[in-house]
Amino acid sequence: MSEATPQASRSSLLRALGSLSSAHLTRFKMRNGKGSAQAPVLQFTNCRILRGRKLLRWEDLWVREGHIVDPEKLFFEERLVADQQRDCGGCILAPGFIDVQINGGFGVDFSQATEDVGSGVALVAQRILSHGVTSFCPTLVTSPPEVYHKVLPQIPVKSGGPHGAGVLGVHLEGPFISREKRGAHPEAHLRSYEANAFNDVLATYGSLDNVRIVTLAPELGRSHEVIQALTARGICVSLGHSVANLRVAEEAVQSGATFITHLFNAMLPFHHRDPGIVGLLTSDRLPPGRHIFYGMISDGMHTNPAALRIAHRAHPQGMVLVTDAVPALGLGNGRHTLGQQEVEVDGLTAYVAEPVLCSQGTKTLSGSIAPMDVCVRHFLQATGCSVESALEAASLHPAQLLGLEKHKGTLDFGADADFVMLDDSLHVWATYISGELVWQAEEARQ
């Protein structure tokens, strides 16, 4: 076939080749000297693939050795066809979800200094596969230094697989945050910077080897030198739990900050004369080429639908859905831990257990108990955005935030084959990591 062959005809040929029997496949491979040692090729058919910000309806997904592959190169350069075909029943195939803020779940508290932190992380990693999450950042809330020193070495970066979602690095939320906007963080353990600010950070956290994100309040003295030191080490700096005005927030971004922790929550409210951190979404004082991302807890409790719509319409490419899930995720009503404090779960809401009231007379929220797939569905319904936008807010955007968009959060050729199979209502039917089925809904097994 010449290079001038129409794309439609070539696609038809690819489908025809993909339907060859295993006997034909073996002969085809042997003629080309590939032999039986050739890595198997998987072809996912009858699906809609999220790629290039669009749901592609006439494409198949091809996987080999844990990566997405270009079928044209397989056929026309390597002379290979699929070893296995999997009919997706018309489902959506989207990149696996990435949760960059999750405090625990299923009774596991990442901020508890146990002797076997790793087993708790592994439990959560396995359970969130059913939510479509293929990678995550275990998050520690404000804690005393001895907790960080004991916990952080026990949470290394780890690839995902049948054992559970991959760990991308730890998110440290606090203790260098505002007392006024501490939210559910224990005041007794909040810290500010001393004369040698970054040494103070190291003394508090210990080794930063396993750290991927640090949330801090940029109005604290010497915060800019801390931001520069963290970003120089490849750590993402997020602004949150803060009373910073817009000018201070812009200076923090100029120093290297790229993320906002749970927008609208635990920060100054928007004001037309000084919009505060929220104003970063439309600021014209950011460095050229600098892209600001912002996390949002789309659980129906933390953020009014109108606020979700305002943020998304102002800066849709920066939206990152996070769960901010607490250890009570997956459990029922009652008291549970969150770091050094207790939280009370009542229905769909988690509060600090102590009767601490804010100025409006409502209890202090302490994270969410909504899984990621619920957050995606609520975001879609609340904003009226496209399915593509809702899915990318939980996949592509967090990957871009962490500089992983070549490998995660995308189904482009060459990317890791981490993806989720969804129905039209965006309920998870199956989760794949490196092209391997790691979780499947009961309905899909029938």
Q: 214: Cβ–Cβ under 8 A, 6 or more apart, which residues?
A: 171, 172, 230, 235, 236, 237, 238
Answer for the pair 258, 291: CB distance below 8 angstroms, yes or no: yes
For 139, the enclosing helix (H) or strand (E) is: strand 133-140
Q: Locate 351 and state its tokens.
A: 């509060």
Helices (H), 214-288: 223-232, 246-255
324 labelled catalytic: yes
3-state secondary structure of 324: coil
Which residue has tokens 């008291």?
335
Number of neighbours of residue 287 by Cβ within 10 angstroms: 11
DSSP string, 144-186: -HHHHHHHGGG---B--BTTBPEE--EEEE-SSS-STT-TTS-
The DSSP bridge pattern shows strands 428-433 and 41-45 to be unpaired
CA-nearest of 109, 128, 115 to 167 is 128
- CA-atom Rg of the chain in angstroms: 23
From 60, 99, 109, 324, the catalytic residue: 324
Q: What is the dihedral of CA 391, 395, 397, 402, to 10 degrees?
A: 170
Residues acting as catalytic residues:
324
